[in-house]
């Protein structure tokens, strides 16, 4: 697979960004389509109104009636970070509104599978709920919703996943992606959807003078934004302006020391400082620790940690989550080795190299852990730069697959096309453009792998084999400053569809050494500057890099990198975080393609 750096280049347009913004940051904003200062406003009044969400009025009517009668409400969550934070938002908000009988259940992925299944409804019956509220799931749970109705329960579905041809027969559905919903942002995570429902309910109760009558303080919904920020970033939904508002406001609460005890505990075990937390910390430090509970054990542990108000208990649960994450990493490393062996065997059998693999790759190993195949698929997708589905055993007859895709290939649409062409091949599926899950018969794996490769090839061509790194251009000598690094760090939140600024340039390697067994610590000199800069290169191919001794190598390289701030022993210094390294012989002018 070849890798190239592509410099972002937007056509000249009229912008009204203020002059005080650093020219580099202005360039970054322009490359992301920002033309006015108003688009950078991330204050709460800029949020889209909850009144635009289809079905929210009916959901509020049901919940208000339930509150008046103090009916029993059960939250049915999902077993990932979005599901955990969604559940915590629902529980926290409903209790603050005065609901006395609120509980939650999260399907164990190994027993019940995903969503509101009839099996999870049967398990939920022990709580005798009057109302079930799904969070981050339910839009495809037709059988489960029907069974819940048969048991005399009302069902409110809150979800953000793409709906199928049939909707569940719920009493209310709130999902910005359902047909006919006028809500302008279709990118809300599950935690964003339930937060909006709780916003609407709080407003309704305030209009009814509920809090004064019940002698309750009017809840501050801002106290939930740390959860909303965590779930939104961890679920890798596009950070449109509405999501950037939610994430920015949540991060500000954490930095100000106003986050909940459970999040503080997770930050501590991840060795992150609350005052310096960024969106990437949510995605790469806290999210994986929450997800580890759902992948290997029971997501209830993660939810209890988020809801905990005892620092000692929260720390204990956070440490348990950290240990689960370490176990997850160990399992994943073993699975990656097995996957690479399978790919190498495929190459030998077909007498070609990995770049001639099918454009859509399916891998299955009976020993793989069902809770880690999503991460494995993501790692292989990044390595091979093509859609990948990793499968694990579900039961004696079936295997479950977790799919990860690349830009330009809508993975759910690919699965939908296969299901229509081969109706008996896929038992069930669902997901997004970039990630999906499915279940097939174990005996059908070879046929499905062939159908998947064929269908992906219809959605893209061999150009997919080029891994493109998008750069915001070169930095000048005066740009390698702490003040600019701080400005870039503070200018986010950066994330999916609003990527963190990335630059490219040529450097001389003055010193280098391996740290943590697999990372490179570098001392670099930009060829357009005399300044020596610290840099870190996480998980490089050390064999391809060559000499990694501490001695000065005077090696010239072309790098794609982020300009970041390194916090160490109370001091802040500029640090480059390397994303891609090319040999000097790969002349930059030939590698860069203008959009």
- Mark whether 444 and 570 lie in a shared domain: no
Of the residues 467, 493, 520, the one at which a domain ends: 467
Percentage of the chain beyond pLDDT 90 is: 65
Tens-digit pLDDT profile for residues 229-242: 999 999 989 999 99
| Stronger pLDDT, 593 or 155, i.e. the higher one | 155
In a domain, 8, yes or no: no
pLDDT at 462: 64
Q: Tell me the mean pLDDT in the region 430-436.
A: 82
Q: Which helix (H) or strand (E) holds 202?
A: helix 190-207
Same domain, 398 and 478: no
| Domain count across the chain | 3
Residue 286 has pLDDT above 70, yes or no: yes
pLDDT of residue 355: 55
What are the tokens at 455?
């269908």
- Neighbouring-strand partners of residue 578: 537, 561
Average of per-residue pLDDT across 432-439: 86
Q: Residue 337 falls within a domain, yes or no?
A: no
Domain containing 221 — which CATH number? 3.90.1640.30
pLDDT for the residue numbered 516: 81
pLDDT at 571: 85
Asked whether residue 532 is assigned to any structural domain, the reply reads yes
* Beta-sheet strands, E only, within 264-353: none
Of 318, 324, 328, 320, the closest CA to residue 272 belongs to: 318
Verify that 281 and 426 share a domain, yes or no. Answer: no
CATH number, domain with residue 444: 3.10.310.30
Measured between alpha carbons, how far is 375 from 356 in angstroms, rounded to an integer?
23
- What one-character DSSP code corresponds to residue 495? B
What is the reported pTM? Answer: 0.87
| Domain match, 443 and 497 both | no
List, for residues 58-77, the tens digit of each pLDDT value: 999 999 999 999 999 999 99
Same domain for 156 and 74, yes or no, is yes
Angle of CA points 591, 594, 595, to nearest 5°: 130
Residue 580 lies in a domain: yes
My answer on whether 101 and 173 are in the same domain is yes
Residue 498's CATH number: 2.40.50.460
Residue 345 falls within a domain, yes or no?
no
Q: In this structure, are residues 371 and 296 in contact, taking their beta carbons and an 8 Å threshold?
A: yes
Residue 571 domain boundaries: 472-591
What is the tens place of the pLDDT at every residue in 492-548? Answer: 899 999 999 999 999 999 999 898 878 899 999 999 888 999 999 988 877 767 665
The C-alpha angle with vertex 295 and arms to 252 and 156, in degrees rounded to 5, equals: 70
Cα 359 from Cα 372, distance rounded (Å):
23
Between 154 and 460, residue with greater pLDDT: 154
Mean pLDDT of the chain: 89
Sequence-distant (≥ 6) Cβ neighbours of residue 168 within 8 angstroms: 116, 138, 139, 140, 141, 142, 144, 145, 146, 155, 157
Q: What is the pLDDT of residue 296?
A: 80
Out of 101-115, 326-340, 475-489, the most confident range is 475-489
Residue 241 lies in a domain: yes
Q: Do 79 and 192 lie in a common domain? A: yes
- Asked if the structure places residue 16 within a domain, the reply is no
Residues 220 and 85 in one domain: yes
pLDDT value at residue 37: 87
In angstroms, rounded to a whole number, what is the distance separating the alpha carbons of residues 387 and 289? 25
Same domain, 378 and 451: yes
- Out of 113-122, 352-361, 565-574, least confident range: 352-361
Longest Cα–Cα distance of the chain, Å, equals 77
Q: What is the pLDDT of residue 590?
A: 40
Which of 407, 432, 467 corresponds to the end of one domain? Answer: 467
Same domain, 154 and 102: yes
Question: Given a cut of 70, is residue 593 above it in pLDDT?
Answer: no
The whole-angstrom separation of Cα 79 and Cα 117 is: 14
| Predicted local confidence at residue 389, as pLDDT | 95
pLDDT tops 70 at residue 427: yes
Residues 408 and 493 in one domain: no
Residue 33 counted as domain residue: no
**Residues 238, 294 within the same domain:** yes
pLDDT, residue 499, reads: 93
Q: Which of 467, 499, 524 is the last residue of a domain?
A: 467
């Amino acid at each position: 697979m070849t890798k190239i750096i592509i410099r972002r280049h937007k056509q000249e347009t009229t912008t009204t960004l203020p002059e005080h913004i650093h020219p580099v940051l202005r360039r970054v904003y322009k490359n992301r389509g920002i033309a006015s200062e108003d688009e950078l406003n991330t204050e709460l009044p800029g949020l889209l109104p909850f009144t635009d969400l289809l079905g929210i009025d009916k959901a509020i009517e049901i919940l208000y009636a339930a509150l008046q009668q103090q009916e029993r409400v059960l939250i049915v969550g999902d077993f990932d970070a979005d599901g955990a934070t969604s559940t915590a938002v629902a529980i926290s908000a409903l209790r603050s509104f005065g609901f006395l009988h609120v509980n939650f259940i999260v399907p164990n992925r190994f027993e019940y599978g995903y969503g509101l299944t009839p099996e999870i409804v049967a398990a939920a019956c022990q709580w005798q709920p009057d109302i079930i509220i799904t969070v981050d799931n339910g839009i495809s749970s037709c059988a489960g919703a029907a069974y819940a109705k048969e048991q005399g329960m009302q069902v409110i579905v809150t979800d953000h996943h793409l709906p199928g041809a049939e909707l569940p027969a719920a009493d209310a559905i709130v999902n910005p992606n359902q047909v006919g919903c006028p809500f302008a942002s279709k990118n809300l995570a599950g935690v964003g959807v339930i937060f909006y429902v709780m916003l609407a309910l709080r407003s309704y109760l305030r209009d009814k003078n509920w809090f004064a009558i019940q002698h309750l303080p009017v809840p501050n919904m801002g106290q939930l934004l740390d959860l909303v920020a965590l779930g939104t970033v961890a679920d890798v939904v596009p950070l449109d302006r509405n999501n950037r508002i939610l994430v920015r406001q949540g991060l500000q609460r954490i930095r100000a020391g106003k986050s909940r005890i459970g999040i503080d505990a997770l930050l501590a075990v991840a060795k992150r400082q609350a005052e310096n937390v960024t969106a990437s910390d949510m995605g790469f430090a806290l999210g994986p620790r929450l997800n580890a509970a759902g992948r290997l054990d029971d997501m209830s542990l993660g939810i209890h940690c988020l809801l905990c108000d005892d620092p000692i208990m929260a720390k204990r649960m956070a440490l348990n989550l950290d240990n689960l994450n370490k176990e997850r990493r160990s399992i994943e490393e073993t699975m990656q080795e097995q996957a690479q062996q399978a790919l190498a065997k495929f190459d030998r059998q077909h007498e070609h190299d990995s770049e001639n693999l099918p454009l859509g790759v399916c891998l299955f190993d009976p020993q793989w852990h069902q809770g880690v195949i999503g991460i494995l698929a993501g790692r292989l997708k990044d390595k091979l730069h093509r859609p990948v589905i990793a499968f694990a055993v579900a039961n004696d007859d079936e295997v479950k697959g977790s799919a990860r895709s690349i830009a330009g290939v809508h993975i759910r649409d690919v699965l939908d096309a296969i299901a229509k062409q081969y109706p008996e091949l896929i038992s069930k599926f669902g997901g997004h453009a970039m990630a999906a899950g499915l279940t097939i018969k174990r005996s059908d794996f070879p046929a499905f792998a062939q159908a998947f490769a064929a269908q992906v090839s219809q959605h893209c061509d061999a150009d997919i084999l080029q891994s493109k790194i998008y750069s915001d251009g070169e930095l000048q000598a005066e740009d390698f400053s702490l003040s600019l690094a701080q400005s870039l760090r503070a200018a986010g939140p950066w994330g999916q569809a609003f990527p963190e600024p990335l630059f490219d340039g040529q450097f001389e390697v003055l010193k280098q050494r391996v740290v943590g067994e697999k990372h490179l610590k570098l001392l670099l000199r930009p060829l357009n500057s005399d300044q020596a800069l610290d840099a870190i290169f996480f998980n490089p191919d050390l064999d391809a890099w060559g000499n990694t001794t501490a001695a000065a190598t005077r090696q010239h390289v072309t790098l794609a990198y982020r300009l970041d701030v390194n916090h160490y022993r109370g001091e802040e210094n500029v640090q480059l975080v390397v994303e891609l390294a090319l040999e000097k012989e790969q002349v930059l002018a030939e590698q860069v393609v203008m959009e």
